[in-house]
Amino acid sequence: MATTVVPLPAILCLHGAGTNSSIFQLQARRIVATLQSSFRFIFIDAPFGSPPGPGVHPAFTDLGPFYRWHCDSNVIDEFDITLEDVERERWQVRDLIASHIKSERATGGPGIVGVMAFSQGTRVATGLCLDKELSRGIEFAILIGGTFPSLELTASTPSHDDGYESGGMIWFEYDAYDKGLESLYRSPSSSSSSLTGSSSSPTPSTAPSSADGNEWNIYPVNIPSIHVQGTADPWRSEGDRLRETYYNPDLTTVLKFRGRHQVPTGTPEANIIAESVISTYEASM
């Protein structure tokens, strides 16, 4: 009798603006290597063409074409784009993500249980976590080099931009393979993880709640999240704002490394991220 092989749980991977899935796969190669025995990684391309982003040249010059995710209403006054264009792009991205989630559910395995994203991709990943339909089955989010605000996938999702006016693509220079990366260290935040990647964050079933049961609902996202940010990232305040605006702090792990706006590529960093991912996923089961 043939043995049925159940696919490993999958992590959906969303790249930054002006890059693509192949570049993100290279950037995250050590994280993937440390977790490949536990998860499958599904790297997808955003649907809209884009100029190459910073850090693409010269290392990734030959890896085009390059893509971006959808714009939001904040850029209507800055670019030649209408509200109808924004809505059309939004639904194209939602349909793309939904098709991958549906396809994975059809395999008979656990399907997509997590999302890993970098830069602009973290805004889309947050939109996914805010989507009540698509986020079913998402047990954790890995957000690297987060930026703000979220890019919602449905028009009905509450906005949390607080007057933020510089949405869309963000360009700046950084070295995607900074050789000066050092070990991750404990963030000053009380919700940060230690060097071992351990976290005392409770799962949704054990987290504290108010007497009337409403306290747990004040946070838009009640999915465990791991936030990875370089200490020299010029947009680290946006990563903090993304975390503090949307994610339940009782389900949040913060990992900081000495680097800029980049995916950490060192083995020590990858091991700590992997430990956090596995412990977070196991706690949700």
80 is catalytic: no
pLDDT in tens, 13-38: 999 999 999 999 999 999 999 999 99
| Res 217: pLDDT | 58
119 is catalytic: yes
Please answer whether residues 223 and 141 qualify as being in contact, where contact means their C-beta atoms are separated by less than 8 angstroms: yes
Please identify which of the residues 50, 119, 150, 193 carries the catalytic annotation.
Answer: 119
Rg (CA), the chain: 18
- Given a cut of 60, is residue 283 above it in pLDDT? yes
| CATH 3.40.50.2300 for domain 10-284 | no
Q: Tell me the C-alpha to C-alpha distance, in Å, between residue 192 and each of 97, 186, 234, 265.
A: 30, 6, 20, 20
Q: How confident is the model at residue 5 (pLDDT cuts 50, 70, 90)?
A: confident
| Res 54: pLDDT | 76
279 is catalytic: no
Give the domain ranges of the chain: 10-284
pLDDT in tens, 226-270: 999 999 999 999 999 999 999 999 999 999 999 999 999 999 999
More confident residue, 136 or 184: 136
Please identify which of the residues 233, 250, 276, 279 carries the catalytic annotation.
Answer: 233
Give percent of the chain with pLDDT exceeding 90.
65
Task: Return the biggest CA–CA distance within the chain.
Answer: 63
pLDDT in tens, 166-198: 333 323 233 332 222 222 222 333 333 333 333
From the list 63, 92, 217, the residue with the least C-alpha distance to 151 is 92
Q: Tell me the C-alpha to C-alpha distance, in Å, between residue 29 and each of 140, 177, 178, 215, 247.
A: 19, 12, 15, 39, 26
Please identify which of the residues 15, 70, 227, 261 carries the catalytic annotation.
Answer: 261
- Residue 280, classified by CB atoms within 10 Å of its CB into exposed (0-12), middle (13-18) or buried (19+), is buried
- Given a cut of 70, is residue 162 above it in pLDDT? no
